[in-house]
Structure 1
Amino acid sequence: MKTLTLSTLAAIGALLASSFSFADNHKLDQLLTSCAACHGGAGVSANPLWPNLAGQNDRYLADQLRAYRSGERINALMSGQAKNLSDGEIDALAAHYSQLPPAAAAGGELNEAGAHVRGRCISCHGIEGKPVNAEWPILAGQNAAYLKQQLMAFKSGERQGSLMNVVAAELTDSQIANVAEYFSQQQP
């Protein structure tokens, strides 16, 4: 029986590692193709009711995917997409999208009414929609329609988040629309 040298073992180990890396990269490419159908190839959604993922906090994205996977957060499409993701796949997707350049801010005249409502939001999401805690979403440059939809879901209790349910319940529908537009106009 022939003994293997240390350099031969190292070469075999490198070959195996590269094949696992290829498989992981191939799986990530498949997942990204699936995500791109709704969130765009660059993480910027063409549908204003779906969130932009590009430039979002990686920890927030990972937490949301895990919430979809566990059923804690429910969305017919996203729950189905997330149910079979491993923790490693979730982390890889979150890291990928967090490193992409964020969507551009919405144009138009700044929604001053929304600027006055944002006082309730800035302690968590920052003055310009950029939180200091990676567990919270970046609101700057997000689609206004998506932000409005989520705030309305928190207000109705359809979406759960103890603090967000309280804050959203205190806002009128008009204030929700204004603050959503305001944050969409902030440069990410």
Structure 2
Amino acid sequence: MAVHSAFTDESTTISEQEYEHEFNGLTSTADEDGLFEHILVAVDDKTNETVSGVALSLAAAYDAQVDALSVVRMNASVDHWDMVVERREDGAEAALDAVGDVAAERDVSVTKRLRYGTPAEEIEQYAEHNDVDLIVVGEPNRTGLRRFLSPKSVADRVRKSTSIPVLTV
């Protein structure tokens, strides 16, 4: 008897080893194709450093502009609102600083942005309004109960809501 999960993720993810192999030797064809002139990397306090590494490697290869965006999740039902928002802001700022550190190591310029709202919606709106060519976002490792309580990740929502290419790492 075969058992099939209703929550199977069909997206392709990339491991750190594959990232090293695939992107470190990448050569630019941006002048020929005009691909990836503006890359958006979406991060939060749980984002793996590999996500920003992939985005910055692509930016270096294509001589692209990079924006790092972190969204402070806002909802009206939060107790002790100020304290929760401040904690989320600190996490978002730390994530942006981590992208900045990786960018400095690779000598790539990055513009850091902090927004408030629903992450998937803010990522999509930012990308649409700023002529982004590629969105790079991390795919969370959701297992067990967490996978059932939250079957859609921010990466899933962004992929389904925008016509801009989305690279999930």
TM over 0.5: no
Normalising by the smaller structure, the TM-score range is under 0.3
TM-score by structure 2 length? 0.27
- Greater helix share, structure number: 1
TM (norm. structure 1) is: 0.25
Higher strand proportion: 2
Structure with higher RCO (Cα < 8 A, 6+ apart): 2
Larger Rg, first or second structure (1 or 2): 1
